[in-house]
Amino acid sequence: MDAEALRRLLISRREMINPESLGFKRRDPRGRKTPGISQEHMDKLLMRTAGTYGKLERGVLVNPSHEYLREVAKILGLTAREWKIFYAFARSEQPPEMLQLPSVAGSWKQVLDALPLMACITDVAYNVLAYNWNMAQFFPRGQMPHNTPQWMLFNEEARSETLVNWEDRWAPFLVGGLRVALSLHRENRTLVSMAELCQADPFLRGIYEEGVAPYATPAVEGMPVRHSVRGAGTLTELVSELRDTSGALLHVWLFQPEGHSWPEAEFLAPAEDRDPAGFFPSQDPTPAESCPGERGGYL
């Protein structure tokens, strides 16, 4: 815990809140005007024992719960970035969920629209927050599902047409991924609901209860699919967490049509132009160059 940084963050946010807007008077016990709401105000708003919030602000509250920190963050109006910093200072770890959905209607939506590949942004439960036209075209009739794993697991069209070899390839991967996500976000209602649907499904229940077997596939890589426009092929997914969003994920899907290699040669720069600054070792090192300590070797 970084107690001093935590104290400064919380004080600065308290001082920005007008106590009169919450029904409190702007005065301390000695009659002097003070900026913002007090620690006592926070305890009343949080419905906690007097002095509890003060311990948090001083960095001496032992292992504050996620629920308590979330309530504090909401009262103080922390942004997505401040929530992530606050959680790190208070618990020395990443928050398990976002305080609020990130705004993806502006710059990130422009990024998605500019990408020539299939791409979308989701929350930690894979609810779609934004997507591009290319992504929608993958699905039947160009209809982007609200939650991609939910559609892949339970939609009959996904099982029988879009996801090739669904029972052997896709179902174990999807159920395994759901169990991992649920272990990280146990209170997330969407994930809990999907887990309940899996356990109620005659086929998926056996996979869900199988134990470690569903985790054999670590990522979507070369998975067989049938693109609604481009036909049969394989799908590879790249996933990255968006900075300062506490869990919003950027998904990029690479589709390789059946019978074609990816990426195709015409989309690659000539070999001599791929590393103009000379930052990286040779793509095809000689045995001597690949040994540590030799001239031109890897570090």
Q: Is 295 exposed, middle or buried (0-12, 13-18, 19+ CB in 10 A)?
A: exposed
Residue 231: which region, alpha, beta or left (left: phi > 0; alpha: psi -120 to 50)? left
CB 253 within 8 A of CB 134: no
Which residues constitute the domain of residue 85? 3-91
Tokens representing 283 are: 């793509």
Q: Is residue 202 part of a domain?
A: yes
> What CATH number is attached to the domain comprising 79?
1.10.260
Q: Is residue 32 part of a domain?
A: yes
CB 178 within 8 A of CB 225: no
pLDDT by 10-residue block (mean), the chain, 299 residues = 84 88 65 76 88 92 86 85 86 75 65 91 86 92 90 93 94 90 83 90 88 53 93 93 76 90 48 57 49 36
Separation CA 14–CA 35 (nearest Å): 8
Maximum CA pair distance of the chain? 80
Q: Is residue 163 part of a domain?
A: yes
Q: What is the pTM of this model?
A: 0.60
Residues 76 and 207 placed together within one structural domain of the fold:
no
Separation CA 263–CA 242 (nearest Å): 25
Residues 73 and 115 placed together within one structural domain of the fold:
no
Residues 117 and 175 placed together within one structural domain of the fold:
yes
- When divided into structural domains, the chain yields a total of 2
